[in-house]
Structure 1
Amino acid sequence: MRQQIEVKLHAKSVKDITKGYPLLAKEAMESSEVAMEEGSLLRIVDPNGRYIATGYYGLQNKGIGWVLTRKETEKIDAAFFATKMKEAIAKRARFYDAEDTTAFRVFNGEGDGIGGLIIDFFNGYYLVSWYSEGIYSFRDDIYQALHEVVEVRGLYEKLRFNTNGQYLEQDDYVSGEKGDFPLIVMENGMNYAVDLNDGAMTGIFLDQREVRKALRDHYAEGKTVLNTFSYTGAFSVAAVLGGATGTTSVDLAKRSLPKTIEQFAVNGIDYEAQDIKVMNVFDYFRYAERHGLKFDVVVLDPPSFARTKKMTFSTAKDYPKLLKDTLKITNNGGLIIASTNNASFNMKKFKSFIDKAFTETNTRYNILEEYQLPEDFTVPHNYPEFNYLKVVFIKVMN
């Protein structure tokens, strides 16, 4: 039997939840003497005991749970989840009908009404990511709902939460047809190899789809392109298919080499004609500067936080320095595609990092394009703080 608890909001938090804010923060609630279990249903009331919403308790880095409904009599069961999924899938009809794209987000957590739950589509296969033990406790109902709403060729899952400091390890396969990996998916006509059963990552970040398309369609032709923090080289593939004269992909992970070769291969690209470096990006900047290497286009998409034996990097404090290092190896008139998925600051703050770097190096610049999350990555209406992706195309003017 699922635990059900009544929790009172502080008066100052009532307005936010009433207006549609989906996240339940610990400080928003008056202290409760009842110990909450992951997955407990929460009857959320104002200080006078009047009903506001129903949510669930699930610890993740953003808060302690999420609002599920503001209808007091609505049951949280398989039918509830099926309704949410039908609404989400209807929004993605264009993607299901597309002939040149077979990988996209089907359900984007709080943007589609269920915080902590992400569902991605990969050429007939569905990958479900669970971000708390609380939402995972609804697993049976959610999988029943998914099978009711769509035809599932094969189902995989990722548990992106931990217990007692240890991430849960499991076979990612759930049901249906087992994938023959690498699975080839299409994105705006480009091929990408993915693996749904190989650790935390799949081989491609779907939220950068439109950025890769822009690089291919408008900025790569006749250019030399440096792809830093390149992962599996997805941006490098887009650049070559857009007519780049050469690409250099740099990533510290040893797996980046075979994975990048694989991405080139599934697009019929001779990987030996491209440069793939397995090394620390910061070391590569120094290497390139020493050797007088410069590029027409630099893709800059670092992790939000990284630590090596030599240094610690955080986009929140170190992005201006990263840009200044990038400018040293970018040709005059060149382009920097600056990107971050750090949700702790907004686009305005990110642009201030850009301005700081260019001002301190006495370099003029022009912003050509900006991108945030694509349309399949739905975010809650009127709450832009959930739109974590920030990408700025910067032309170097000096």
Structure 2
Amino acid sequence: MKKNVRLKVKPSYVKGLKTGYPLITEDAVQNISNVKEEGTIIELFDEKNVFLGKGYYGKQNKGRGWVLTQNSQELIDQEFFEKKLKKAINHRQELFNNYETTAFRVFNGEGDGIGGLTIDHYNGYYVLTWYSEGIYSFKDEVIASLKELVKVKGIYEKKRFAVKGKYIDDNDFVEGEQAPSPLIVRENGIHFAVYLNDGAMVGVFLDQRDVRKTIRDQYAKGKTVLNTFSYTGAFSVAAALGGAAKTTSVDLANRSRSKTQEQFSVNGLNYEDHDIIVEDVFNYFKYAVRKELSFDLVILDPPSFARSKKHTFSAGKDYPDLLAQAIQITERNGVIVASSNCSTFGMKKFKEMIASAFKQTGSTYNILEEFKLPQDFKTHKEFKEGNYLKVVFIEKLS
């Protein structure tokens, strides 16, 4: 039986919680440091002892837990988790029934009503990511609920509740049948090799599904494509399948070469027809300028924060400079796919960064289209930070 603790919310935070803001921060609650055990049920009240919400205690970055319900009578038990998961699964029925797509998000944290937990589907296998020890304490209830609602081949987990949200390197397989390694999944007919038991990331970022399809179907044909911070080359494969004349993938990680080669191969493409370069992207930009290289389509999807031997990149501060370098090697009337998953700024700020970069280079541009998270990455309207993805297709005019 979980412990229940009553806590008072500081007056300046009451309004936010009343309107549904789901994150419980340390600053918002009096004496939250007195709660020692992660997974403790927290009941929140204002100064007049009016009930505001009920959730759990769990350290996740700056958060100290999540509100799960504003109904004081609702129990946080097996039935609660099953109800939330059932609603989330029903929301994704179109994807469950889509033969062309077998990899997608089933449950997206606070967007589906339980902050700190995500569940991804990979061709019948499920990967649960836990972002605090608090939510992890409900593991049995969550897994039992999942198995009650869907046919499960096997279950894997990622523990992201170490210091600063880093991945805890552990055996990720939980139960059921172990997935092949690699497991081949489909996304809009594109094949991807994923590894469910190989660290924090499995090999493809599911939130870019709509962007990859758009690149393949509308922008790639006959074009020379540069894919920077390319990871396993998913954008490059999408472009190649869309008829790109040639793709160039650049990433600093040594294993990016073999991983990208594999993604080309599982799609029946000859990776030797494309360039796969292990290099610091910043150094590659300098090289491309020096060699007077230019591309019709440049994909710029850096991590929010990255550090190499010579460079430190922070999206909130350095994105305009990075984009300015990309503009230099983009052909006139070429397209830049500018993307950021940084949660500290929104689309408005991102467009200001784009304007700043073009002003810096003296170039002009036209915004062609914009993307945010796909439908399976459900978000919470009061929690803007959760709607983190910003992608803008930009035509370089001059």
One-letter amino acid matched to 1:320: P
For the 8 Å contact 2:368–2:393, the answer to whether it is kept is yes
Q: Which runs of 5+ in 2 are unaligned?
A: none
* Between 268-277 and 41-50, the greater mean CA deviation after superposition: 41-50
For the 8 Å contact 2:81–2:142, the answer to whether it is kept is yes
Give the corresponding residue for 1:298.
298
**Counterparts in 2 of 1:183-194, with a 5 A limit?**
183-194=183-194
Give the corresponding residue for 2:385.
385
Moved over 4 A (4+): 163-167
2 CA distance for matches of 1:367 and 1:135? 41
SS of the residue 1:95 aligns to: helix
**Counterparts in 2 of 1:93-172, with a 5 A limit?**
93-162=93-162, 168-172=168-172
TM-score (norm 1): 0.98
1 CA distance for matches of 2:170 and 2:155? 14
CA 1:218–1:163 in structure 2 vs 1: closer, same or farther (change >3 Å)? closer
What RMSD over aligned residues (CA atoms) do the two structures have, in Å? 1.4
One-letter amino acid matched to 2:81: F
2 CA distance for matches of 1:66 and 1:51? 15
Give the corresponding residue for 2:320.
320
1:362 CA drift (Å):
1.3
Give the corresponding residue for 1:286.
286
Report sequence identity in percent. 56
2 CA distance for matches of 1:272 and 1:262? 11
1:78 CA drift (Å):
1.1
Given the alignment of the two structures, is residue 332 of structure 1 paired with residue 343 of structure 2, yes or no? no
Give the corresponding residue for 2:230.
230
2 CA distance for matches of 1:245 and 1:384? 39
Given the alignment of the two structures, is residue 42 of structure 1 paired with residue 42 of structure 2, yes or no? yes
Deviations 1:209-266 (A, max 9, x none): 0000010010000100000000000000000010100000000001101100000000
1 CA distance for matches of 2:53 and 2:324? 48
* Between 349-358 and 155-164, the greater mean CA deviation after superposition: 155-164
2 CA distance for matches of 1:349 and 1:166? 27
One-letter amino acid matched to 1:26: E
1:311 CA drift (Å):
1.8
TM-score (norm 2): 0.98
SS of the residue 2:343 aligns to: coil
1:33 CA drift (Å):
6.8
One-letter amino acid matched to 1:389: L
2 CA distance for matches of 1:273 and 1:235? 16
1 CA distance for matches of 2:128 and 2:385? 23
One-letter amino acid matched to 1:55: G
Give the corresponding residue for 1:347.
347
Give the corresponding residue for 1:376.
376
One-letter amino acid matched to 2:100: D
One-letter amino acid matched to 1:376: D
CA 1:323–1:180 in structure 2 vs 1: closer, same or farther (change >3 Å)? same
* Between 103-112 and 26-35, the greater mean CA deviation after superposition: 26-35
CA 1:293–1:166 in structure 2 vs 1: closer, same or farther (change >3 Å)? closer
1:382 CA drift (Å):
4.5
CA 1:33–1:234 in structure 2 vs 1: closer, same or farther (change >3 Å)? closer
One-letter amino acid matched to 2:255: R
